Amino acid sequence: MLPLLCITACSAAVASGQPGLTDAEWQRDGGAPQTSEPAPEPDRSDELDPAARLREVAIAVGPGVIVHGLGQHRAGRPEAARKLLVAEAVGLGLTAVGLSGLALTGASRYTVAPLALTTMAGVGLFATSWLTDVYAVARPAGSEGAAPRFAPRLVSEMGYRHVADPQFPYRHFLMHRFELRVGKLALEPSGWFALDENNARLRLAARYRLAGATPGRPCVDGTFWDLELAGTHHRYDHDGFRIATGEASTRVRLDLARRHAAFRGAFVQGGAGFALQRTAYDVPAVSIPADWSEMLLGELGFGFYFGEPARYDGEVRLFYDHRHDGYAAGMLMPGLGSGVIGHLGLDAVGFFGEQLGLRAEAQVGAAVVTGLSLVVRERRH
Amino acid sequence: MDGRTLGAWAAAMLALGCTRPAEERARRDLEIGQADVAGTSVTVEGGLAAIRRAAPGELLLWQSAPVTRLRIVRAAGAPDDWTLEVRNALPDLQLEAEHGSAPLTVTAVDRPIVTHKEFRVRLPAGESTLSLTTPDAAEPSAWRFAVMSDVQEAIGEVQDIYQKVNAEPGVRFLLGAGDLTQQGSVSELSRFELELRSLQVPYYTTLGNHELGNTPPPYQDLYGRGSFSFVFREVRFTLLDSASATLDPLVYGWLEGWLAQGKGSVHVVAMHVPPLDPSGLRNGGFGSRAEAAKLLSRLAQGSVDLTLYGHIHSYYGFENAGIPAHVSGGGGAIPERFDDMGRHFLVVDVAASGVSAVRVVRVD
């Protein structure tokens, strides 16, 4: 239950933040709503001293990996340091509870899901508290990006993906994604189509936004809380099988400026869910019953915004995704632990002006996925 | 964050992953069962035995299969009297030796351990063929074997299991799906062999992820190939190295041949990590669900009759791609709780006509 409590707590934090604003309220507030909580950022003695900042970064990266928040402490922000240290301690605690639970139960089928999610939450909290410390001392003061306060009604993305998987002959893909938002509902059909092989992955996701920006109703920051239902159909015609997946999940993003002003521009994102998969086999002259299997969904990431709206803006996100399907799938490693964990990814999207943007992504699992695409979003009125 | 920092992050992330962690082991498989010593070359067909020691006039083999053929080419000046010590052998193992079509005289030497055999043979210069076989090797009638995996840290109590296996009538050998040890070190693997001395039948096994704790893993030097295939009593057995939650593409190439060869006969396939964990939320299966489906599709196409797995410390009977499947990780490693299973092994009744029964034998 611990991971569910974490998600609930995070969701509560999301929901308790300043609610979305109507366009009229946005105009009345002069287009610059403030978050409700953050304290003003203390003066930084190193703002004009790059060498001092370099020392802070070195401390955050070096000893700071053991004691999170050392970078903030060095920068003269003890409250920010304390929050990161607490997050680290909670992360380590959750990790210890999850791992020891898995060991004691022999990864029992009856308890593995909550224990695995607890471990993921713990490792995620540990990693993001460290990355937050590094980010907050590494970025020059005043260089933080602005969070996207608007949710466009329409987003379309088309691009190229390269999949280097030693198990399958495909390499080159055309991908297309389309997102339509109506109020709190969003519909997102997407497809990956191999250009050199009979392989295609079609997905339709429907989301309901419980908190955060929606079209015509901007929010104070990029924080959101979504519920998602999705279906995926993945054809491997060359290898004689198809995988159909139905899933339900929830995803939360929390802008870290809500926790402390020093973290402005950074965010954490996490999610959890459940999927059911049906693998059907196309073997000539043989009738084979399909295999059914469940899959635990879990996602954790740290990211930051860059730029300023209407000129150039975007975000970068480093994430862990527990999925073992799709093109990246689960990570393979030398040694004892291969196959257990999901894949790592880096996702960067940047807009040049209000409409046009580029997305670059990389994922490393059983395969290495890289790609670049053009993104078009609805212009803000 | 500038572009260079992002680039460094991306490079570090890429370095974490490894899409072919089993490649080196697959390549080492190809070197198993070959030796050159004092002008004599020795080749074990199919790599079905590890050559542990090769000295002038002396060979020590660890068998991975009940029936093994060796090709020995002796140069004119090399020793002609050879002693062949065979470990992990069937108790009724025989050596038949030929030089061209002429049979060679073989002397069997008694050894105190029933699965250890010793033969002496005089090899003329040139190529000789040595067949390690049993009187029933080609019989199509019903027989049985046992299956046991995942001993790991419970090596101290493994004798309980061996006693029960020894007590099972008619079991010809024990088949293993890996995790013999906790880390796969030489000392752990040696301890495993020491404990095997009380087992009255040989133990043919592949390796598990717990044999990968040392780099490079010493498993193959001592116990032979991770992926191999053999036929005994008209039943084909294929053991695959899935210890890294994947099969290396090289192994898929070999598997294609083994499936084609086994198409007309009963075919049993065993590996450590199952392609799909019967409890999908745990995902104790392959790292990639797509690769799991690819493998199962091929096994189904190859008309495989039975799949046997380890890795999960309990017992599950199910079907994958319509093939009967059994996960049996009852060798004593930390058991899966709340399922009341504990230590166990399987007894499989098989004949040239098919697999007739798979029975769970509890140890505790």
Contact B116, B86 (CB under 8 A): yes
Q: Are the beta carbons of A107 and B282 separated by less than 8 Å?
A: yes
Domains of chain B plus CATH, in order, are 31-133 (2.60.40), 143-362 (3.60.21.10)
Contact A74, A84 (CB under 8 A): no
Closest CA to A100 of A110, A88, A92: A92
- Facing residues of A352 across strands? A312
The amino acid at A256 = L
Gap from B93 CA to chain A (nearest CA, Å):
36
Q: Are the beta carbons of A164 and B9 separated by less than 8 Å?
A: no
CA angle A12/A16/A18 to nearest 5° reads: 145
Superfamily of domain A154-377 in the CATH hierarchy: monomeric porin ompg (2.40.160.40)
Spell out, as residue ranges, where chain A has pLDDT lower than 70. 1-48, 380-381
The pLDDT, as a whole number, for residue A23 is 44
The pLDDT, as a whole number, for residue A2 is 43
For residue A367, give the 3-state DSSP assignment: coil
Pairing of β A199-211 and β A224-236:
antiparallel
The amino acid at A286 = V
A208-213 own/partner pairs: CB under 8 Å, 24+ apart: A208/A184, A209/A151, A209/A184, A209/A185, A210/A11, A210/A14, A210/A15, A210/A184, A211/A11, A211/A14, A211/A15, A211/A17, A211/A19, A211/A20, A212/A14, A212/A20, A212/A151, A212/A253, A213/A20, A213/A148, A213/A149, A213/A150, A213/A151
Contact A161, A370 (CB under 8 A): yes
Q: Which residues of A touch B297 (CB under 8 A)?
A: 239-241, 281, 283
Contact A134, A64 (CB under 8 A): yes
Q: Which residues of A touch B314 (CB under 8 A)?
A: 106
Q: Which residues of B touch A168 (CB under 8 A)?
A: 290, 294
The pLDDT, as a whole number, for residue A47 is 58
Backbone angles phi and psi of A12, in degrees to 5: -65, -40
The pLDDT, as a whole number, for residue B1 is 40
Domain range list for chain A: 35-138, 154-377
Q: Cα–Cα distance between A26 and A21 in angstroms, integer?
A: 6
Residue by residue, pLDDT tens for chain B (364 residues) are 444 444 544 454 455 558 999 999 999 999 999 999 988 999 999 999 999 999 999 999 999 999 999 999 999 989 999 999 999 999 999 999 999 999 999 999 999 999 999 999 999 999 999 999 999 999 999 999 999 999 999 999 999 999 999 999 999 999 999 999 999 999 999 999 999 999 999 999 999 999 999 999 999 999 999 999 999 999 999 999 999 999 999 999 999 999 999 999 999 999 999 999 999 999 999 999 999 999 999 999 999 999 999 999 999 999 999 999 999 999 999 999 999 899 999 999 999 999 999 999 999 9
Tokens of A127: 């990693």
Residue among B288, B311, B327 with most chain A CBs within 10 A, to mutate: B288
Tokens of A61: 């990266």
Q: Cα–Cα distance between B162 and A63 in angstroms, integer?
A: 51
The pLDDT, as a whole number, for residue B200 is 98
Q: Cα–Cα distance between A148 and A156 in angstroms, integer?
A: 17
The DSSP result for A35-74, as a single string, is -SSPPPPPP-TTTT-HHHHHHHHHHHHTGGGTSTTHHHHH
Q: Are the beta carbons of B18 and A293 separated by less than 8 Å?
A: no
DSSP state of B18: -
Q: Are the beta carbons of B14 and A362 separated by less than 8 Å?
A: yes
Three-state DSSP string of B66-78: CCEEEEEEECCCC
Which of A291, A331, A339 minimises the CB distance to B321?
A: A291
List Cα–Cα distances, A35 to A14, A184, A212, A260, B89, in angstroms. 12, 21, 13, 11, 75
B249-261 and B289-301 helices, crossing angle to 10°? 20
Ranges of H-type helices in chain A: 2-16, 23-28, 50-61, 70-74, 78-104, 112-138
Closest CA to A366 of A323, A318, A335: A323
Q: Which residues of A touch B1 (CB under 8 A)?
A: 135, 138-139, 304, 306, 316
Q: Which residues of A touch B284 (CB under 8 A)?
A: 107, 340
Tokens of B94: 């025989």
Tokens of B32: 């198993």
**Nearest residue of chain B to residue A245 (CA atoms):** B289
- Facing residues of B82 across strands? B121
Q: Cα–Cα distance between B216 and B24 in angstroms, integer?
A: 9
Q: Cα–Cα distance between B264 and B245 in angstroms, integer?
A: 29
Q: Which residues of A touch B179 (CB under 8 A)?
A: none
Which of A277, A296, A331 minimises the CB distance to B289?
A: A277
Average pLDDT, chain A: 89
Whether residue B216 has a cis bond before it, omega within 30° of 0: yes
The pLDDT, as a whole number, for residue A286 is 84
List Cα–Cα distances, A332 to A297, B17, B18, in angstroms. 18, 6, 6
The DSSP result for A202-216, as a single string, is EEEEEEEEEES-BTT
Which of A166, A324, A362 minimises the CB distance to B287?
A: A324
The 10s digit of each residue's pLDDT in A130-143 is 999 999 999 887 88
Q: For the beta carbon of residue B357, count every other beta carbon within 10 angstroms.
A: 10
Sign of the torsion formed by the C-alpha atoms of B92, B174, B295 and B350: positive
Backbone angles phi and psi of B211, in degrees to 5: -90, 5
Q: Are the beta carbons of A240 and B334 separated by less than 8 Å?
A: no
Residue B68's Cα: distance from chain center in Å? 13
Which of A138, A294, A295 minimises the CB distance to B1?
A: A138
Secondary structure of chain A: what % helix, strand, coil (to 5)?
25, 40, 35
Q: For the beta carbon of residue B45, count every other beta carbon within 10 angstroms.
A: 16
- Whole-model pTM? 0.92
Instruction: Please name the helix (run of DSSP H) or strand (run of DSSP E) that holds residue B58, with its range, or none.
Output: strand B58-63
Q: Which residues of B touch A339 (CB under 8 A)?
A: 244-246, 273, 283, 285-287
Q: Across the A/B interface, how many CB contacts are shorter than 8 Å?
A: 223
Q: Which residues of B touch A100 (CB under 8 A)?
A: none
Residue among A232, A320, A338, A361 with most chain B CBs within 10 A, to mutate: A338
Which of A296, A316, A365 minimises the CB distance to B283?
A: A296
Q: Are the beta carbons of A279 and B338 separated by less than 8 Å?
A: no
Q: Cα–Cα distance between B53 and A350 in angstroms, integer?
A: 63
The pLDDT, as a whole number, for residue A142 is 81
Q: Are the beta carbons of B210 and A367 separated by less than 8 Å?
A: no
Gap from B19 CA to chain A (nearest CA, Å):
5
Closest CA to B50 of B205, B268, B243, B251: B205
